[in-house]
């Protein structure tokens, strides 16, 4: 089976370029489309009490965070020579939901993550890699970090 759409999920950490190179290499080998995603976990949710119904105003810090993430994702893509790739910064209740939502919306058939990331847990797989693996409708590659 040839992969057609590889989704590189990145935490924008120092290891991200290494994981990205692997995603790029695989996409090239299969002649697949390659997209990048970074999830900004929902901070509004903690407000509770109906505040989530309020529109997100541009001056709120989370919009600044999203903007910062868009810039960082653009820089990472540039460093990888992937300027033309689709780059998505999404806001979701969890990183897992953000990634799997994009898989569903855009029809990715391979998710590439790092085995560990910022959480740096001494587990076999990082918490995100593990969560994504268990919920994914497609193959998942955890690049050893």
Closest approach, Cβ 115 to ligand AMP, in A, equals 7
Closest approach, Cβ 37 to ligand AMP, in A, equals 6
Place of tokens 């790092």: 114
Q: Of 31 and 46, which has the nearer Cβ to ligand AMP?
A: 46
Residues that bind ligand AMP (CB under 6 A): 9-11, 19, 37-39, 95, 113-114, 116-119, 126-129
d(CA 92, CA 101): 9
- Residue 92 bridge partners (DSSP): 41
Report residue 24 as tokens. 């790029």
Q: Of 11 and 109, which has the nearer Cβ to ligand AMP?
A: 11
Q: Of 5 and 38, which has the nearer Cβ to ligand AMP?
A: 38
Question: What is the largest distance, in Å, between two alpha-carbon atoms of the chain?
Answer: 50
**Beta strand 33-41 pairing with 139-143:** unpaired
């Amino acid at each position: 089976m040839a992969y057609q759409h590889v989704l590189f999920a990145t935490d924008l950490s120092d290891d991200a370029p290494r994981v990205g190179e692997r995603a790029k290499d695989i996409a090239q080998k299969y002649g697949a489309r390659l997209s990048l995603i970074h999830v900004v976990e929902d901070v509004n949710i903690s407000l509770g009490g109906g505040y989530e119904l309020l529109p997100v105003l541009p001056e709120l810090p989370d919009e600044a965070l999203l903007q910062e993430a868009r810039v960082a994702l653009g820089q990472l893509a540039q460093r990888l020579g992937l300027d033309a790739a689709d780059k998505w910064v999404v806001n979701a209740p969890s990183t897992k939901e953000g990634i799997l939502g994009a898989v569903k919306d855009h029809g990715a058939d391979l998710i590439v993550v790092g085995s560990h990331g910022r959480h740096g847990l001494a587990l076999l797989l990082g918490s995100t890699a593990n969560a994504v693996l268990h919920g994914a409708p497609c193959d998942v590659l955890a690049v050893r970090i």
